[in-house]
Structure 1
C-alpha cells in the first residue's frame, strides 16, 4: 500500500516556493515561440521593371522615379529592363510576380491597352492582373523626319509620300504603338505607301532614324528633341490638343490642319503593381509617388525630358485607365492596325 506524504501548511508553502522557478522555466520551454513581427514595408530593395530597352522616355523616367523613391522609402529601387514583344515580356513578368510591392512596372499605354486588341491571346490581362499606382507623366510625342526627307510640314510629308511611293520608312518601338497606329492611319486615310519598321524599343529606333535606316517616326520629345537642335532630325507636329511645353514652336497636328482623332490622343506613363498587392502598400506607394512628382526637382526633371508631370493617386489612375482603355481599343480597331 502506497503511503501518501502529509505536509503541514507551513511545509506546503516552503515546497511551493522551491518549485515555482522550475515550473516557470518548464512553462517557457514548452510554450510556442511567437513569430517575429513582419517589418514595415519596404523591408528590402524594390525592382522597377521597364518593358523596353534603355534609352527611351519610359526608361529615363523610371530611373528618375526610382532614384526619388529610393530616398523617400529608404530602400534601393532597382530599375530592370525586360524588353521584347512590344512590351509583353516585361509586363507579363510583373503581372505574374509576387503581389508584395517589391516588383513594379513602369509602362506606356500600349502593353496595357492596345495589346488587348492586337493579340488574340495575351499571357496576361492588364484589367485583372495589374493595378495602377500612379500616372507619373503625360508622354508628349512628335512627328519627326530625318533631315534627308524634304518636308517641313505634315502636308509636305504627305505630298512627298504620294510622289515617292515606298521612300518613307516609319520606325516605331513595336507593333501597336503610336507610331504604328499613325503609320497605318496615314496609309489608309491618305492613300500613301509608307513602310512600318518595328523595333524592340525607342532607343534602337532613334539610332537607326539618325542613320537614315528609317526616316520618319512619331517619337517621344524626350528621345528626339536633342537631335532637333543639331539639325539631324526635323520636327513637324506634336500629338495632343495643345503644344508641348518642351517644343513651344512646333505646332500640333490640329494647328497643321489635321485634327483626326489618332493625332489628338495622348496617354500617361503609369506605375503599376500586381493586382493582388495589398491596399496599404498600394496606398503607400501612391502617396510617396505623388509627393515625389509634386516636388520642384522632379517637376523640372520631367519637364526637361519633354514630358508633363501628373503624379495622380491610385484611385485617380484607376479611373483614368478605365476611361482611356475603351478609347484606345476603338481607335486601334478603327485605324486597322494589325501585327506584322
Structure 2
C-alpha cells in the first residue's frame, strides 16, 4: 500500500511538472475590478498585449466592476489554481474593502499569490487657486482658522482621499466637510468650480489643471517626488511622518494561491520583463504611472506595509461600505 501511495504521488508530481513546462497552452484572462476605459483597465490591456506575446498565448481582459472589487477578486479566489485567470487590481479591493464591509468572501494572505507590483500611481494633494496656501503647513493653518467652512472631495466613502481628510480632522483638530463623488472626474470638476477647497487625486486627472494654474499642488502623497512636478514636495518633506498620509497607489498582478510554483515563476518572469521593457515603460509613463516590476516577495512586503496603516485610517474614520 505504501509503495502504491508513493507511486501515485510520484505520478502526480510528474504530471504537475509536465503541465507547468507546457504552460500556457490556451488563452489567459486578466480580471479587472472596474469598467472599461479606466486607468486600471487601460493598464491591464497594455500588459495583456505585451505579456501575451511573451507567453505565446492571447490574454483577454475581463472587466468585473462592482462590490468594492469583491466580484473581481472572487473570480480568482473561486477559480482553478492553474494560472489561466489572473487579477490586475489597484490596492482598494485588497486593502480597503475587507475593512469597509462586514465580511468579504476572501482572505488576501490566504487566497492570493502575489506575482508583481506593476506600477505606482502618482497622487497629489491640490487646492483651488484662491486658497491662500503654498504648502501643506500653510493649508492646515488656514483650515484651522476656517473650521466648519472647509470642504474636501473624494471619489467615494472609504477611498484614500476621504480617509486622509478624516485623519486630518481627527489628528489636527479640524472640522472639514467630506463630499463623496462617483468618481475622480466629477470630484475634479467641483474642485475647479470652487465648490470644494481641496482634494487628492491622480496626476492624470489633476495634472493638466495644476499645469494651467487653475489648481495648486501642495504635496505628492508618496515616498518620492515625481518628474511631472519636480518642484512639489512629498508629504514627508512637508513635515508629516504619518504612514497614513502616503497613498497606497500601487497596481499589481496576482494569481490564486495554490497555483504551481513553476507557473507562478513563469508569470513573474514574463510580467516583470514586460513592465521593464522600454515600450511598456513608455506606455506607463503616458498614463502617469511609475513602472515597478518587482518580485513577489517585494510586492507582498509593500502590501504588508500598507495594509495596517489603511486599516487604522478606516477604523478611525468610522467609514462603512455604502
- Same fold by TM (over 0.5)? yes
- Report the counterpart of residue 236 of structure 1 in structure 2: 218
- Report the counterpart of residue 151 of structure 2 in structure 1: 168
Unaligned runs of 5+ in 1: 1-36
Q: Secondary structure at the match of 2:125?
A: strand
Distance in 1, Cα, partners of 2:51 & 2:186: 28
- Report the counterpart of residue 305 of structure 1 in structure 2: 287
Kindly state the Cα deviation for residue 142 of structure 1 after the two structures are TM-superposed: 0.8
Unaligned runs of 5+ in 2: 1-17
Kindly state the Cα deviation for residue 134 of structure 1 after the two structures are TM-superposed: 0.7
Runs of 4+ in 1 over 6 A off after TM superposition: none
TM-score, structure 1 as length reference: 0.76
Q: Which has the larger radius of gyration?
A: 1
Distance in 2, Cα, partners of 1:193 & 1:317: 36
Is the 2:118–2:293 Cα contact (8 Å) retained in structure 1?
Answer: yes
Provide Cα deviations, 1:159-215, integer angstroms capped at 9, x if missing partner. Answer: 44341624413112x333321220111111223333334455445544555555655
Q: Secondary structure at the match of 1:117?
A: helix
Is the 1:56–1:223 Cα contact (8 Å) retained in structure 2?
Answer: no
Change (3 A) 1:297 1:125: same
The alignment of Structure 1 onto Structure 2 pairs a total of residues equal to: 302
Provide Cα deviations, 1:272-306, integer angstroms capped at 9, x if missing partner. Answer: 11223332222111110111111122223323333
Distance in 1, Cα, partners of 2:281 & 2:29: 23
Report the aligned-residue RMSD.
3.0
Kindly state the Cα deviation for residue 44 of structure 1 after the two structures are TM-superposed: 3.2
- Report the counterpart of residue 20 of structure 1 in structure 2: none
Of 59, 63, 82, the match for 1:100: 82
Distance in 2, Cα, partners of 1:232 & 1:52: 29
Distance in 2, Cα, partners of 1:119 & 1:311: 30
Of 25, 45, 54, the match for 1:63: 45
Of 121, 135, 139, the match for 1:153: 135
Change (3 A) 1:284 1:82: same
- Report the counterpart of residue 50 of structure 1 in structure 2: 32
